[in-house]
Amino acid sequence: MANVPSDLKYTKDHEWVRVKGNTAVVGITDHAQKQLGDVVYVELPKVGDSFEASEPFGSIESVKAVSEAYLPVTGKVTKVNESLADSPEQINDDPYGDGWLIELELSNSKQLDGLLSASEYEDYVKEEASE
């Protein structure tokens, strides 16, 4: 099984959220980066952009495909990972650390309750793989 840190929340679109107070950091899961293969380009929003939960906020291009990244929660972008412009492979190397995508100010922290725990996400990935 892919690496699934227990302190994060997950989506069925394979994004993760790390919450500290009213701030959420968002990235894609280890499982997602493995499915994509080598990441070669990342398109991210601008600081100040606002998005609704489930709305696409950027794209990740790999040698295999281009995939959209979806926002797990509603919020306003406060920071983007600028280093991905020069080193998009950080998503492959460290999806839960240096490979984070954006940071945002949460608009509705109750939305976090609808996300998956680490064990629920692991079960979802296993179920998806068996289909």
Tell me if 98 is assigned to some domain. Answer: yes
73 within domain boundaries: yes
Domain that holds residue 123: 9-130
pLDDT digits (tens, 9 = 90+) for 16-69: 999 999 999 999 999 999 999 999 999 999 999 999 999 999 999 999 999 999
In a domain, 1, yes or no: no
Is 3 inside any structural domain?
Answer: no
pTM as predicted? 0.95
Q: Is 57 among the domain residues? A: yes
pLDDT tens, residue by residue, 79-119: 999 999 999 999 999 999 999 999 999 999 999 999 999 99
Tokens of 4: 């699934």
Question: Quick one: tokens of 85?
Answer: 């412009």
CATH code of residue 122: 2.40.50.100
Number of domains in the chain: 1
What residues does 116 pair with on adjacent strands?
10
The β-bridge relationship of strands 102-106 and 75-80 is antiparallel
Rounded distance between C-alpha atoms, residue 40 and residue 33, angstroms: 11
